Every structure is written in C-alpha cells, then in structure tokens.
A and B are shown apart, each in its own frame.
Chain A
C-alpha cells in the first residue's frame, strides 16, 4: 500500500461524508462502549483484590520458613534473635514493584472485659507504616485508630466489643501464650472500634502497637513474624511475580518465605479468576455487538459502491488495486473511528476512575464471597483490554470491507456497472 493509494483512499472517504460518518459512529461508539465495559470489569477485579488484601492480608507477606500457616509465636524472622527490622523493611521497600512495606507481629489469645471474654487474633503493627499498606484506619466507627502516643491503646472489631461488653475507653485484659512458653498478660485501653463487614474480623481481631504486642508475647524488639507488602500492581500474575522476585532478593541475606496473596488466599484468587472469566464472556458479547454493527455498515458502504468500483476497473484499474484501495479506505476509516471512540471514551473512563458508579445507594458496603464490595463501583484502566478491543475492531472492519471488495473485484467491469 503506497502513499498515493492512501491519499486516494482518504479522499474517497470524504467524497460521501454522511456514509463515512455513519460508519465512523458505528466503530467509534462500539469502541467507546468496549472501553467502558473493560474499565468497569478491571475496576471490579481491582476492588475485589483490594478489599480482600487491603484490610489485613496485604499483597505479599514475608515470613520465616515454617511460620505460615500455623503461625507459632516463637517463629520470628531471622530466628529467635530476630533481625534488623528497619533494614529488612527498607530493603523490601527499595524493590521497584513495592509501594510500601510494614512489619507485623501476630498472636492469639483471650481478650477480657469485666465479665466476658473471647478468643481473638492479636495483630501488632507500626501505625504509620501499616496505614500505607492496609486501609483498616478508614473503617473506624468509634474512637480512633492506633497512634504512636498510646502504647497501651488497642482497636478491635465492633462486634467483638459488643460481645465482651467493651466501649471506647474501656479497660481490657489480654491473655496470650508468649514466645517463651509463659502466659503474657496485661491491661490495655480500647482506643477505637472498626467495622469491616467481614464477620471474622469484626468478631475476632484486636489490633495494637507492635512494641506492645512484642512485650506481651515476650519477643525482643527485633522479633517480628511478618512483613506485609503493598505492591504497585496487585493482579494475580503481577503479585506472584513480585513475590518470587522478593524471595530471590531477600533469601541472599535471610531465611524467608515470600508468599503473594493468591497463595495466601486461594479462595480469593479463585473468585477473582472466576469473575475474570465471567466478565470476559460479557466483554466478548459486547465485542460481537460492536462487530455486527461495523460489519453491517461496512458491507452496505462497499456494496453501495459496486458500480463505482466497476467504473474504476473499466478505466483500467486492476482488481488487486481495487482491493488495495478498499483496504486502505477501511484501515484509515477504522483508525479515525478508534481515535473518535477513544475521545468519546476518555472522559467516561476518567469519571469511572475518579468518581465511580454508585450502585448501592445509601445501603453501604456488602460482603460478597469473603470480600467487601463497596457501594461505589470504581473503574480501573486496563490498557491491555483497550488495545485488544482496538485491534479486534480494526480487524473486523478490515475483514468486513475485504469481503465485498473481493466480490466486486471479481466482477467484469460491465457486470459491476450494471449493479446498483
């Protein structure tokens, strides 16, 4: 296809602006629609992953070998003497895939207010760092999140507080098997209550400052169980790749096992993948709809021109040149239409990402299959899907132009001229 042909094709397109604009609209709106659907789908996946990993799990977790999943209290990173926590966290944070990292300590035990007690999981975090990897601080319903100023302040789920009869400001006792085999116990104050919508957390999690939990469990300041990591890109493949890279990086200096969320929460990964397949089918249906519109308008446009093509051949254009011309027309038409579609789609995508669709009204977040889906459905940019849709539509446009073009090229000029 040479430049002259392209110029001719472009001129041909504007010889009948109405027809061209109708075809452009068919492709452009089809593309905008696909962009919209892809953005919403990626947004749903992203939200599922975020809500599954964003509260406690995090995207990637670093443990000592043998720690996960039993979580014995004495299996700290770097052995019984622990490790240089700041250096480890800094080394992890230096990895380009990592957005933020935060050290953690886990324990289990009994929380008791005046007359009631309940078995709980204890999670010790550094409040400033933890807030960069998880979003529990945004789920506080009473009181406040942990601060560095209240070493004995803890936050717990609202349902747990109701069970044991504790309020913000209540004094509670924590009782936990410590790393040395003794039973750690101490008094704490409830600083705040959270509500996540996940029953297991709202009924069974107590969050406290890292140093306080280390003291309760008789762990040294160097003794931590886990580094939680937030990644820039947290989809299944990206998280698994990042975990493998971190494992290689950290294993040089420390005995570690690095796990990505699909391994830590396989049911979430299954759910995300299932959702991925369902939405792909949906995307494909939308694609077919868009494709049918394009085939229809393209076919009509070329068939309409059978007579014109016959004329061109009558004045000496070879059939192969005719086909080349049509393909050039279709290609430039598709290109222009996709640009138009992107122009229509861009503000929509921006709106979806920034503002989201409000689906739940004022009903609040709902828990679905172990993840909390918020009332706002935010979009997420999925460049791969956008590119796939563009290529797909362009191919459809070319093929649907090629078929009538080939047919017209096979006619003898006199025959073609007789067609309308």
Chain B
C-alpha cells in the first residue's frame, strides 16, 4: 500500500457522501428502535423494582433513588417514539440528540440494579455519535422537506470515522482487560476453558439457555489457547482496522465471526454485533444502496416487459 494512501485511510476528517451517514443513521436507528420494542416489558419492569436494589451507574448516578414507575414507563415510551424520529430523520436537530440521550438513559437505568451488562455499550456509544451530527441531511424526512442536494464533505466523513474508532476501541479495551487481569495464563492456560465451562454450568443450574456444544468442547483442553490467542488478536489488533479500508472489512468479518463463536460456545448473544450493523460504518453503504436500487429497477423493468 502506498504511504499516501495509508495516510489517507488514517485521516479523521476524510470526506464522505452524505448518503453514507444517512444510511448509517437509518441502520443504527432501526436496530436501536426494534431493540427497545423487543425489550419493552423488560425495560418497563424496572419501575416496580424495590428501591434497595438500586445501584446507579453512569449518568443514572445523578439519582439518589429510583424513579417512580410512571416516569420509567414514560421515558421508555418516549425513547421508542424518538427512535422512530431518529430512524426516519424527522426534526433531527432535536430528535437526534434527544434519542441519543434518552437511549443512553434508558439502557443505563436497566444496568443500574446491581449487575452491569456489556451487550448494549457499543450501540449506545454509536447512537450518541450519530445523534449529535448532521446525519439526516439526506435519506430522511427532513431532507425530503428541504429538498436540498448535499455534496461530499468531511462533515459527513468524520462522524463515520469516529464510529469506527469507538468500535475498535471497545474491542481493544476488552482485550486489554484480559491481559491486565488474566495475564499470560489467559492466553496460554486454562482460563478461557474454565470461564466457558463455568458460565455454561451456571446457566444450566439456573435453567437458562446454555451451550451443550461449549460444554462438550471443554474436554479438549488443547483447543482453548489458540482460541484465546485468536480472540486477543481480534480485540487487541482492532485498531489496525483503521489503517486500511480492506483491513477494516476483514476485521469487521473477523469480529462478527468472533461473536458467532460466542453464541455457539457460550449462548451469549451480542445482538447488535450479530446483526452486523455494529460494523456498518466500515463499509461504503451508499454503494450497496445503489446496487439495491439498481436491482429493484431492473426487476420492475423486467416485470413490465
């Protein structure tokens, strides 16, 4: 790769077409809104939790005591409504930041009852980045109302770049934690095998879904050091995905495969990552969109003739 090309790949303020950011907003918003709808009873249920179990984290730390049940329900429903506005790009100057902040609040509130989960962090961070930028200048209801054509600009490129940076950093931090806490034993020893066996057994004892495949696999001790090294390469090597577009595509595929393996071995579903939308910012979405449009046009013509 030429140095100039690599430098170009590394640039933060690289220009991008507005459609790419608009499509990213629509994808992230669609996932976040469907996710909220799917988890609606769960999110609302925290209104009835006993106050003594309240252990606020992040921005919910502003509260001394839990919210009233009515307030919890209202906030969750408002977040869903704003999610629709975010996804369709309606009144985005208000709906974008409002949805990003409310989504952060609602998911933080759910994590504020004694156990912090880690399945929504990346989604919340990506929604925050996309919610505060001009992501509805095209492919949105706002753009349809204004009817103004926007051209390629760094204003549309840097938020996409920032989403990719945040994405790889979350993986890097996760990889670093394994080295920091587990050391060489995590890479070359039995830690991963024991973690997988223990997690599956714990779920089995609680009558939850677990992975019989993962449990069966733990008898082959020699498998786990290569698996641990592979996951460390994906996590600690994630920042390399920023250096080259093609490397970014490969890394996104590898990270997705990593999550598929986690489902198979531990029955833990990182739904956002599995959907692949978490990695959408690594791709030229507008090219895919034009292909879809072209294919639809071709089908319409074929049907007409």
Partners in one complex: no
Residues of A whose CB lies within 8 Å of any CB of B are none
Residues of B whose CB lies within 8 Å of any CB of A are none
